[in-house]
Amino acid sequence: MNRPIRRTSIVALIMFGLLLVNCTWFMVFRENQLDARSDNRRMRDEEFGQNRGAILVGNTPVAITEPTDDRFRYQRSYPQASLYAPITGWYAFDYGTSGLELTFNSQLAGTDDSLLVRRILDIVTNRMPTGATVQTTINAKAQETAYEAIGDRKGAVVAMDAKTGAVLALVSTPSYDPNKLASHDIGADGTASKAWRQLNDDPDRPLANRAAREIYPPGSTFKLVTAAAALENGSDPKQLWDSPEKLRLPGTETDLPNESPCGGAKITLEQALKVSCNTAFANVGLSLGADKLRTQAEKFGFGSRQLLDLNGAISRFPDNPNASQVALSAIGQFDVAASPLQMAMVTAGIANDGVVMKPYLVSGIRGTDLSLVSQTRPEKLSEAMTPEHARTLQGWMQTVVNSGTGVNGKIDGVEVGGKTGTANTTPDKPPYAWYTSYARSGDRTIAVTVFIEEADIDRNDISGGRLAAPIAKSVLESLL
Amino acid sequence: MEEPGIIVVPRKRRAAELVLLLLALTVGIGAWAITGLNRENQLPENFFVVAGGWVVLAAICHIVVRWRIPYADPVLLPCVFLLNGLGLAMIARLDLNDKATDAPGQLLWTVLGIVLFIVAIFVLRGDHRPLQRFPFLLGLAGLILLLMPLLPVIGVENYGSRIWIRFGPFSFQPAEAAKIVLATAFASYLVERREVLALAGWRVLGLDLPRARDLGPILLMWAASMLVLVYQRDLGTSLLFFGMFVMMLYVSTERPGWAVLGTILFAGGAVAAWLLFSHVQVRVNAWLDPFADPDASYQIIQGQYGMAWGGLLGRGLGLGRPQLTPVVKSDFITAAIGEELGITGLMAVIMVYALIVSRGLRIALTGKDPFGKLLAAGLSFTLALQVFAIIGGVTRLLPLTGLTTPFLSQGGSSLVCNWILIALLLVISHQFRKPIARAVEVDQDAESTQLIALSERGGRPPRTPDATASERGGRPPRTPDATASERGGGTQ
């Protein structure tokens, strides 16, 4: 009877072996998938109570984690609350995360693969594992200046270093207090739920990131792209363009008017840009065609997602416009839509002699001991213009500021170029006011775009110049 | 080779048992203490009283074994105290979160289990062979126990499986008792009939299949298992009993044909049940892809999350969140262990079970009495199957079943029955290892033995060298030798 008992023992051995192999398999292959699932309450609760890394602006943390006595052990807090909310985003128990808290979650939580060595060291040295610190490119002074300058108005300000693509200021108003969303008072009537409901019911949509994640008709600021397309496609800077008071749109009964006199029946592009002449640019658009306009727009970054650090929006140029729509698109109306960040990229590209840099918001990741784990290198997105054409366009933008619609953005003793814009939405809503500009001082070149969603004034081209240009000017001054 | 007059006296190894027992006690008591320290920064209430009581219980067991069955296997009892102590500590720890007080109840059941363990040792008087006398009575009782949950009124359905019966406030998993009763019945029946059952029928692909007229018992057991699978909705129980029967059939007849036939029958039945019955499909789907229907597979998903969170070394006792898993005290106690003691702790627990099973199978190997060998092998293998089915179910190696985790999970019936099972194994091992009954034969598998020369001693004459040689010889004889006379001689 012993032989079958021995064989039975082997069967039992195999069964126990299978159990142990399965346990090992579970550890090696299943554990991470299970941990990553969103309905895993254990992980969610633990992550929420984690000693998350800080988000830094300069040397100042704008998102920190503090020990608490409640069950989560650590409380996320945002010392400057609404000022940096569009950048940090929020970190809530029931309402997920957004902003850098979302895109850099694995680094902040300390679970990213790039932090593996540190994590092992933490375990070995019995140190409480903490997340990495995220260093932003934001300039605190510019951010504060922009936030104060835009005040109670709905809108956005984006400033970036034209030579690197580093975002120096990113303001979206109205903002919100992420501290309330991160509250540990998480019941149905807790602080977090109340704040969430209130923010979502607010018609001004404070949670929307108007600077990078929303797109709007760029209006006359898009004339920069049209002008660049004309130059790049061989148009002589001295060429004269028809600039009638009204342009009958091809195939329609509609006339396109100018907001103000263009200064002649035939004018140069420089003049057209200076006074923001609609009919001249519509004619430029008609003569170039939709494809050349779109190609130029895409070189500046339209049609693809920009600023992945915040998962920014994709700005768009319409796909198959007819002639009248091309004419409207050339002046930034019809279906053209861009984020303020995108218009800052256009301006920065022109100011950087045609080289468009990829925008970025995070300059580096630092471990708990503040040593650098990774660093962002500036990257070129495209060469949108030849340096020669770019310099020509820079000169025209300076004319706009020195003697055109953008005179409010002028800074004494500094090279400043800009372009105003007003975009009409629907007749019952006030227009959007835009102003985008660059300033050069020494070896620094800064681009700033200001966007005001509700400009409570007449629809004329000066609104961008009057409302938005002073904000841009103060931001530029804070940076130079 | 051996000279007549030399008697092999195995070591009693009671001191080894005592040392192992002390180590085992520290596991349960330590786990309980750590839970208290982790949670409240102090030892649990009544710590010294309860821990002292636990030590006293172990001491009583040890003394009873030392006194009544001194040659019993020294490893089994410490393993059982380790698991039972850990189970009690886990239940006490889980009590902290669901505000229940289940641990004292479980401790009472443990005391009852230990009392019955001692009673069994006294009643059997160190000899398992009287159990051989009632194969049909025990078989009938076992089948009734097994199928009892299907009866109206007393049968209760819990978590989709109908494997419980309820009398007033008491609920009971009769399969646990049926396990021991049926194993005893099978062992005595098969020992009687094995010569007939071993006769070859047709030969297919090099395998001797049994004769068609001998298929009755296996078909009966197969039908009972399928009833369990389909109506009690429990693959585990079904697998447990059919597997036990087929394995014992194979061991007694030494015919691999029986094992092959049984495996095919069970696999065929299981596949047919899966094709025909939606509740079987639900279980299988929850095993293959629990996330396809997270609500239906909530328990298994939470168990998996717990073990994933526990990781390699666990959260620490009292520091995990096993309470998120439903029914964690009974079915999913191993998931709680995985969460708080890590996959390492869970694998250690699996190894302790493997140790118990290996000692049980070793007892079966060392013995001479076929009934005892078959019973020890059957009980050990059944324990292995049970652990395989339930831990395999929790860790998603197999579809989940409603079996209990022996000695760990909450539930009186399982605990008491498994204590009796261990008493049986200890009695059998004592019977096999005590010196008087078996002379001369030195088994290769036996532990280190002392050879003591003794003068002629009363009792049975030593076996002839011839019989030993033929038992050892390469191919076992079709009709095992010497068994009938040994059986007859032993029980009189």
The string of pLDDT tens digits covering residues B392-410 is 999 999 888 878 899 999 9
User: Residue A214: phi, psi to the nearest 5?
Assistant: -125, 150
Chain A residues with CB inside 8 Å of B326's CB? none
In a domain, A167, yes or no: no
Q: pLDDT value at position B453?
A: 61
Closest partner residue to A22 (CB to CB) among B252, B377, B395 is B395
User: Residue B375: phi, psi to the nearest 5?
Assistant: -65, -45
Asked if A328 contacts A293 with a C-beta cutoff of 8 angstroms, the reply is no
Identity of the highest mean pLDDT range in A19-28, A99-108, A400-409: A19-28
CA of A93 to nearest chain B CA: how many angstroms apart? 18
Token pair of B211 as six digits = 């004769």
In terms of pLDDT, which residue wins out, A143 or A262? A143
Asked if A276 contacts A208 with a C-beta cutoff of 8 angstroms, the reply is no
Task: Return d(Cα B126, Cα B120) in angstroms, integer.
Answer: 9
Chain B residues with CB inside 8 Å of A5's CB? 251, 361, 364-365, 373, 377
What is the mean predicted confidence (pLDDT) over B284-310?
88
Token look-up 């140069």 returns: A268
pLDDT tens figures, A281-293 = 888 888 888 888 8
- The rounded mean pLDDT for chain A is 85
Torsion of CA A169, A170, A173, A179, to 10 degrees: -100
- The rounded mean pLDDT for chain B is 83
Closest partner residue to A26 (CB to CB) among B250, B307, B387 is B307
Closest partner residue to B250 (CB to CB) among A4, A9, A22 is A4
List the single range of A301-315, A417-431, B109-123, B364-378 with lowest mean pLDDT: A417-431
pLDDT tens figures, A348-392 = 999 999 899 999 999 988 887 777 888 889 999 999 899 998 998
In a domain, A466, yes or no: yes
CA of B445 to nearest chain A CA: how many angstroms apart? 10
pLDDT at B446 over 60: no
Quick one: closest CA in B to A7, which residue?
A: B251
pLDDT above 90: percentage of residues in chain B = 41
CA of A54 to nearest chain B CA: how many angstroms apart? 25
CA of A23 to nearest chain B CA: how many angstroms apart? 7
Chain A residues with CB inside 8 Å of B384's CB? 12, 15-16
ipTM topping 0.90: no
Number of Cβ pairs < 8 A linking chain A and chain B: 115
pLDDT at B108 over 90: yes
List the single range of A110-119, A412-421, B397-406 with lowest mean pLDDT: A110-119
List the single range of A463-477, B154-168, B350-364, B413-427 with lowest mean pLDDT: B154-168
Q: Is B384 in Cβ contact with A16 (below 8 Å)?
A: yes
Chain B residues with CB inside 8 Å of A16's CB? 350-351, 353-354, 357, 384, 387-388
Please tell me what DSSP assigns to residue A198.
H
Closest partner residue to B304 (CB to CB) among A5, A13, A34 is A34
What is the mean predicted confidence (pLDDT) over B23-36?
95
CA of A69 to nearest chain B CA: how many angstroms apart? 15
Cis-peptide, bond into residue A174, ω within 30° of zero? yes
Number of domains in chain A: 1
Q: Is A46 in Cβ contact with B357 (below 8 Å)?
A: no
In a domain, A392, yes or no: yes
Residue of A220, A437, A474, A478 with catalytic role: A220
In a domain, A286, yes or no: yes
Q: Which of A14, A16, A18 to mutate to test the interface with B (most CBs of B within 10 A)?
A: A16
Q: How confident is the model at residue B56 (pLDDT cuts 50, 70, 90)?
A: very high
Quick one: closest CA in B to A45, which residue?
A: B321
In terms of pLDDT, which residue wins out, B205 or A239? A239
Chain A residues with CB inside 8 Å of B250's CB? 4, 8
Closest partner residue to B361 (CB to CB) among A5, A26, A39 is A5
Token pair of B119 as six digits = 């009673």
Query: Catalytic: A193?
Result: no
Q: pLDDT value at position A129?
A: 63
A120–chain B Cβ distance below 8 A for any pair: no
Closest partner residue to A15 (CB to CB) among B254, B311, B384 is B384
List the single range of A251-260, B136-145, B234-243 with lowest mean pLDDT: A251-260
| CATH number for position A268 | 3.40.710.10
Token pair of B94 as six digits = 């889980």
What is the mean predicted confidence (pLDDT) over B376-382?
95
Name which of B271, B285, B293 is nearest B400 in CA terms. B285
Range of the domain at A426: 219-362+378-479
Q: Is A12 in Cβ contact with B358 (below 8 Å)?
A: yes
In a domain, A425, yes or no: yes
In a domain, A62, yes or no: no
A181: Cα separation from own chain's centroid: 22
A128–chain B Cβ distance below 8 A for any pair: no
Residue A164, helix vs strand vs coil: coil
A35–chain B Cβ distance below 8 A for any pair: yes
Q: Is B350 in Cβ contact with A37 (below 8 Å)?
A: no
Q: pLDDT value at position B475?
A: 44
Q: How confident is the model at residue A147 (pLDDT cuts 50, 70, 90)?
A: very high
Q: Is B247 in Cβ contact with A43 (below 8 Å)?
A: no
Q: How confident is the model at residue B277 (pLDDT cuts 50, 70, 90)?
A: confident
Global pTM value = 0.68
User: How many CB atoms sit inside 10 A of residue B49's CB?
Assistant: 9
Closest partner residue to B364 (CB to CB) among A5, A43, A46 is A5
In a domain, A115, yes or no: no
pLDDT at B361 over 50: yes
User: Residue A349: phi, psi to the nearest 5?
Assistant: -65, -45
Chain A residues with CB inside 8 Å of B385's CB? 15
pLDDT at B459 over 50: no
pLDDT tens figures, A73-113 = 888 889 988 899 999 988 888 888 888 888 888 888 877 77
What is the mean predicted confidence (pLDDT) over B281-290?
86
CA of B388 to nearest chain A CA: how many angstroms apart? 6
Chain B residues with CB inside 8 Å of A13's CB? 354
Q: pLDDT value at position B430?
A: 92
Chain B residues with CB inside 8 Å of A43's CB? 305, 309
Distances (CA, A) of A473 to A264, A338, A447, B200, B316: 30, 22, 11, 102, 59
CA of B262 to nearest chain A CA: how many angstroms apart? 14
Q: Is A26 in Cβ contact with B357 (below 8 Å)?
A: no
Token pair of B13 as six digits = 């190894």
CA of B207 to nearest chain A CA: how many angstroms apart? 15
A5–chain B Cβ distance below 8 A for any pair: yes
Residue A216, helix vs strand vs coil: strand
Q: Is A16 in Cβ contact with B350 (below 8 Å)?
A: yes
A71–chain B Cβ distance below 8 A for any pair: no
Q: Output the DSSP codes for A25-82.
A: HIIIIIHHHHHH-TT-HHHHHHHHTS-PPPEEETTEEEEEEEE-SSTT-EEEE-TTGG
User: How many CB atoms sit inside 10 A of residue B111's CB?
Assistant: 12
In a domain, A335, yes or no: yes
Quick one: closest CA in B to A2, which residue?
A: B365
